[in-house]
Amino acid sequence: GDSVTQMEGPVTLSEEAFLTINCTYTATGYPSLFWYVQYPGEGLQLLLKATKADDKGSNKGFEATYRKETTSFHLEKGSVQVSDSAVYFCALRKTGTASKLTFGTGTRLQVTL
Amino acid sequence: NAGVMQNPRHLVRRRGQEARLRCSPMKGHSHVYWYRQLPEEGLKFMVYLQKENIIDESGMPKERFSAEFPKEGPSILRIQQVVRGDSAAYFCASSPPTDEQFFGPGTRLTVL
């Protein structure tokens, strides 16, 4: 079945450091890929998405590129802020259908001054 | 346009009681999904519903759990005879057909 694997956390960075959170997937066909962010005590918010190979999703300084050859969708940010501290989830969904999301286990990011 | 609404936000039940979780989708959204998040884990899909129909319930436990999305009113996730292992955050998401899902704030269920 479909699955998503994320690097384990927690990830602790100093403010303005470079962030990479790795995500790889296993799926049949060509899924859409997503990054969601969850702040403490809140629900998930869509951060960015990509729907086909080589697409780059970007939002709020975060980026991720859909790499079909390596089945990856790594999240990056050039300079993190304390306010980026949250749990980040990588997810996939079958393209063209209103179907379920399959999530990774999440990566907790802690940014310190 | 209000977002996805869930209530209650926090629910405490004793073992053996029933839990009812409600989800009101965003206006214009006809698809509802329920996910469960156990402590320190990712979200796991439970069930996908459209109005008056269950489309995919492959993630639902076979016993004690049920879900509905009636023609009028919110979607309901019902857990009968709760056990401590049911303690989790339950998230609802809604979407239009073939589009991204928007999540509610979740209901945190604690079973004593």
Higher per-residue pLDDT: B38 or B40? B38
| Beta pairing, strands B107-111 & B102-103 | unpaired
Q: What pLDDT does B1 receive? A: 55
pLDDT in tens, B48-58: 999 889 999 99
**Residue of chain B whose Cα is closest to the Cα of A104:** B42
| Contact between residue A58 and residue A88 where contact means Cβ atoms under 8 Å apart | no
Radius of gyration of chain B from Cα atoms? 13
Whether residue A68 lies within 8 A of chain B, CB to CB, comes out as: no
In chain A, % of residues over pLDDT 90? 81
| Contact between residue A18 and residue A79 where contact means Cβ atoms under 8 Å apart | yes
H helices then E strands: how many in chain B?
0, 11
Best of B29, B31, B43 to mutate (most A CBs within 10 Å, chain A): B43
- A98/B104 CB distance under 8 A: no
Phi first, then psi, for residue A83 (nearest 5°) are: -70, -10
Mean residue pLDDT across chain A? 92
Whether residue A70 lies within 8 A of chain B, CB to CB, comes out as: no
Query: Confidence class of residue B97 from pLDDT cuts 50, 70 and 90?
Result: confident
pLDDT in tens, A60-109: 999 999 999 999 999 999 999 999 999 999 999 987 666 889 999 999 99
Whether residue A104 lies within 8 A of chain B, CB to CB, comes out as: yes
**Which member of B44, B45, B91 has the closest CB to residue A43?**
B91
| Contact between residue A35 and residue A57 where contact means Cβ atoms under 8 Å apart | yes
Best of B60, B91, B100, B107 to mutate (most A CBs within 10 Å, chain A): B100
Q: Which amino acid is at A79?
A: S
| Contact between residue B49 and residue B29 where contact means Cβ atoms under 8 Å apart | no
Helix (H, G, I), strand (E, B) or coil at A74: coil
